[in-house]
Chains A and B, each alone.
Chain A
């Protein structure tokens, strides 16, 4: 133990300088130390937490650096091999999507179902935008987005099986998929899409899944929805 003559404080960790005023401290005698221990107790040290913090940040930076340098190399290759087709823009976008995806799954603090739901919603919007800005052929609404919704149905089933004691907690995700499938078919009809076979399959499958869940789930589902929609 030491004492700071400037702050008039006892330093339980016995540092050579005061952590507050940086004045050189004076060492306490055995008797003074005993007396200080009687007055204040012994204190408790802290671990070195800096190392762990820096390690996490370091890994994220390494991945970001790898993505940036890979993309730079690909741009150079693209420039010297096929300068008329800028395929490196697609790889660049993929790296950005990949890194954001990584950050989202690592940092986003929500349940698995919420992460899956948001990810699917984001994917649907992205697919629609890609279609819209690459010629508006309508493939997003006729098969890509319904495909994502059907994949989502499968995902919900998988999650319900995986977490059987709380299967009803995925009802809201299923409901969102149901609303999305209904919206898609409405959009397909309004925009007079050429083929609406997959959207119809999507509505039927999701609708039946939803009705089945509500019918067989009985009170478990109604209570879950009661909690989720309490005003």
Chain B
């Protein structure tokens, strides 16, 4: 394995892009970054030097994250990057900001920190949430080993055993030629949530922290899983707040990415998911929340059918495998891909992804408070949700480029009615310079006064 940051004498490793990744280099730009963020909050402030060392060390083990994107004559491809690891910086931009690769030493990820939080932002062409989470977990382990050498002396200073470095294209491996091409991707347009937008490049973030047991109990009341319950409430919030419970010609269509690794016994670090969509068609009569939850859950259940997932996968790959399309030069292909994307983007109102439950090794747990994920905006989707759970807390994060937060409000209010109250945190409230110090001063003064009493 080459020592990172040193110039390679040998030929660089290279890899083809997986089926999903083919789309992202074509459509991504400022304002539609195709970047997702997974963050971890520690119980103590992050030490930048140690974080930098950790990134350098962990990156040596992850070839997938050491890749750069290159343009071939027919396809994009990944090539091993021998440039220095980008500097870990204090967070100074909005979450999910475009990763300008040429200003990032051609790496397709970025690590930033702010106070107790470490952020990993990844260009989606590289890997999906699973891959990002594996990398972030190893980064956190490495960081904590450096930050607490005495406490974690018993831990081995290397990538955890059991982590797969597999880079197979699981789409191609599991693609069945001639499978039915009836897909869940309808060509029917979906409702687009519009409204006053924030200035270009700005993104509003709302985190909602739930106690998992309370959320489980709330979902159980309706006989649903947590995922079905959250997606259902989200669709209901859109229905009530955007459509005011009224009819709409276009359905509310909430995309839900489904990780295919378990189904196909894959351990790839590349993208391996398909999208299904929970659809709800509002009619003349106002529908109750219970009914919306039931309809959405049924819709999701139907589409989670293994045969349907096979079909979606096969349909997606069939276009890539088309012998007539493959030898078309990339600049023509890009036009076609962009066109297809534009058409398909109009069929989704929003996306809600569940990255899953994060489990850390026991000695590290006490240093980690939360994990959360967030998605950047894409065409036609001005608000998105992401779910991550860790240590008994589930965090739902809404990201939006709209100024109106009424959908998020309805979502949290509805769930609170079922007994699962959330704690909120946003990037809306930022203490002005000196305000934070003033607050601490006031608090100390108050404490002093109380003591003297």
Contacts and interface: CB of A to CB of B under 8 A. Distances in A.
Contacts of B423: 9-12, 36, 39-40, 43
B393 A41 contact: yes
Interface stretch (A44-52, A80-88, A146-154, A207-215): A44-52
B75 A19 contact: no
Given A20-B206, A165-B9, A7 B409 contact: yes
A190 interface: no
Interface stretch (B158-166, B217-225, B266-274, B427-435): B427-435
Contacts of A39: 211, 423
A19 B204 CA distance: 11
Contacts of A231: 74-75, 326-327
B70 interface: yes
Interface residues of A, number: 50
B94 A227 contact: no
Interface stretch (B112-120, B129-137, B180-188): B112-120
A230 B15 CA distance: 11
A109 B101 contact: yes
Interface stretch (B85-93, B167-175, B280-288, B350-358): B85-93
Given A39-B423, A44-B115, A52-B93, A223 B429 contact: no
B106 interface: yes
B77 interface: yes
A34 B14 CA distance: 52
B47 interface: no
Given A7-B416, A229-B74, A231-B74, A41 B369 contact: yes
B7 A21 contact: no
B202 A53 contact: yes
Contacts of B370: 41, 43-44
B416 A230 contact: no
A13 interface: yes
Interface in B191-206: 199-202, 205-206
Contacts of A46: 91, 114, 205, 426-427, 430
B209 A41 contact: yes
B425 interface: yes
Q: How large is the interface on B (under 10, 10 to 19, 20 to 34, 35 or more residues)?
A: 35 or more
Contact of A43 (B412, B413, B425): B425
Contact of B70 (A6, A9, A53, A227): A227
A218 B9 CA distance: 15
Interface in A4-42: 4, 6-13, 15, 19-21, 36, 39-42
Contacts of A50: 199, 202
Given A19-B429, A39-B211, A45-B115, A53 B93 contact: yes
Interface string A187-231: 000000000000000000000000000000001100100011111
A166 interface: yes
Contact of B11 (A6, A41, A52, A223): A223
Contacts of B8: 165
B7 A165 contact: yes
A11 B424 contact: yes
Given A39-B211, A42-B369, A47-B430, A227 B72 contact: yes
B74 A230 contact: yes
Nearest to B77: A227
A111 interface: yes
Interface in B338-356: none
A29 to B, nearest CB: 13
Q: Which of A19, A46, A50, A229 has the most CB of B within 10 A?
A: A46
Contacts of B41: 41-44
Of B29, B406, B425, B428, chain A has the most CB atoms within 10 Å of the CB of: B425
A77 interface: no
B359 to A, nearest CB: 17
Nearest to A226: B14
Interface in B392-423: 393, 405-406, 408-409, 412-413, 416-417, 421-423
Contacts of B115: 44-45
B11 A220 contact: yes
B409 A20 contact: yes
A228 B73 contact: yes
B201 A53 contact: yes
Contacts of A114: 71
B424 A12 contact: yes
Contacts of B11: 219-220, 223
Contacts of B409: 7, 20-21
A111 B73 contact: no
A172 B329 CA distance: 14
Contacts of B30: 107
18 contacts: A7-B413, A10-B421, A11-B425, A19-B405, A19-B426, A19-B428, A40-B423, A41-B393, A44-B116, A44-B370, A165-B82, A227-B14, A227-B70, A227-B72, A227-B79, A229-B72, A230-B74, A230-B77
Given A7-B424, A44-B114, A227-B14, 6 more contacts: A12-B424, A39-B423, A41-B393, A45-B114, A230-B72, A231-B75
The 10 closest A-B pairs by CB, nearest first: A20-B409, A46-B427, A165-B7, A8-B416, A40-B423, A10-B423, A44-B117, A40-B209, A41-B369, A43-B425
